[in-house]
Amino acid sequence: MPQFLLDMRTPAQRLQTSKRRLPFGLDASEFIQHFDQKSLDSTDFVARLKKLEKLNSSLQVVFPLLQDARKDRQRGLVKHPGASTDRPWLPSDVQSVIDTMNIDDTNNKAAVAQSIPKRKTRTPAQRDPSSSKRARTDNAHETGTPSGSNPE
């Protein structure tokens, strides 16, 4: 008989005793205080919070953003197909913050990339063809001696 059928504990109890770590260093009771029991039981919600934690490890910074995303969803300002406006927390709330942070991160990377001066390179028309190694080698093949050398 599979082990999971024998375990009659609630998901929160199994989570507490498992080696699985909750995001932002929260224990189960702290997690429930910030979010709720259903969120603790949702593996998708917890997984997305862990992903968010990798983007910004401070719950003090992230939690107000999560609350704003939740309020926007509950007011119907953000459309997520099939997303409930009644539930306190959904994985889509976390995903909204992740998407926002990824956009901000992409914009920051683009700004940094634009601020770095590009290396100046010459176009083929600006190069002196006789100074290239290939030109010297090609010339050596035609005359038997590399250009610039005097056969004596």
Domain layout of the chain by residue ranges: 3-114
- CA 86 – CA 143 distance, rounded (Å): 86
**What does pTM read for this prediction?**
0.59
Q: Which residues of the chain, if any, have pLDDT below 50?
A: 1, 17, 19
* pLDDT (0 to 100) of residue 86: 86
- CA 10 – CA 111 distance, rounded (Å): 48
- CA 111 – CA 143 distance, rounded (Å): 53
* pLDDT (0 to 100) of residue 76: 86
CB-CB neighbours of 32 under 10 Å: 15
* pLDDT (0 to 100) of residue 68: 96
* pLDDT (0 to 100) of residue 91: 94
